[in-house]
Structure 1
Amino acid sequence: MQSRVSLGALALLAQVPQDIARDNADVAAIARIAGNPEDLETLDAYCATGSLRRAADLLHLHHSSVARRLEQIAKTLGIELTEPTGLIRAGLALTAWRLLDD
């Protein structure tokens, strides 16, 4: 996990009251997928790279396997991960969720 210092402006999310962050639909959806480490790892790799193939390389998986995982994750999150706005939403929600664990 990244420290707050390395998050830069994303560390501003730490100033959001935790109850409000937990109640956010996107953060709550991340909490639901967090029970499956493979899904969390896949989403993290995709958000970090912004690319299906680079995420697959990072995870040492075939890109079609990662695509299937992301399709299911997107359904669970209710976020279109292939759209730039969806990728940003997922990344922000993932960061906000991680900050709740501090």
Structure 2
Amino acid sequence: MGVRGGGHQHDADRRAGLVPAPGRGGGAARRARLRHRARRHRLTPLEAYCAAGSLRRTADLLHLHHSSVVRRLEQLGRALDFELTEPDGLLRARLALTAWRLLDD
């Protein structure tokens, strides 16, 4: 885990759009937009987890209890045959979603 204001988790949050790049405004507005998108477009738990990078943030985005998110991601991980809550699993899921979105366009 990173330290507030730096580190790997902060970098991952920035790439996911949860933390602004330097000079791009507050992260709270970005998180609010993600929450709105989650409600309006029925963001899936996998998409939310890939965007948030954290089980608790995912639960917040989807308005679910974190144990519900854990259970859903465990089910998906079993179906995909890799652990989504491990860094490599999260990376694989992000790459797969990106490829799927590119092919869907």
Match of 1:59 in 2: 62
C-alpha deviation, 1:90, in angstroms: 0.5
> Which of the pair is proportionally richer in helix?
1
- Aligned 1:22-41 pairs, distance under 5 A: 41=44
Matched with 1:76 is 79
Equivalent pairs, count: 66
Deviations 1:11-46 (A, max 9, x none): xxxxxxxxxxxxxxxxxxxxxxxxxxx7x7100010
TM-score when scaled to structure 1? 0.60
State the structure with bigger RCO (CA 8 A, min sep 6), 1 or 2: 1
Tell me the CA shift for residue 82 of structure 1: 1.4
Query: Is the 1:79–1:90 Cα contact (8 Å) retained in structure 2?
Result: no
Sequence identity, in percent?
Answer: 74
User: Structure 1 unaligned runs (5+)?
Assistant: 1-6, 8-37
The alignment's C-alpha RMSD in Å is: 2.0
Counterparts of 1:88 and 1:51, CA distance in 2: 13
For normalisation by structure 2, the TM-score amounts to: 0.58
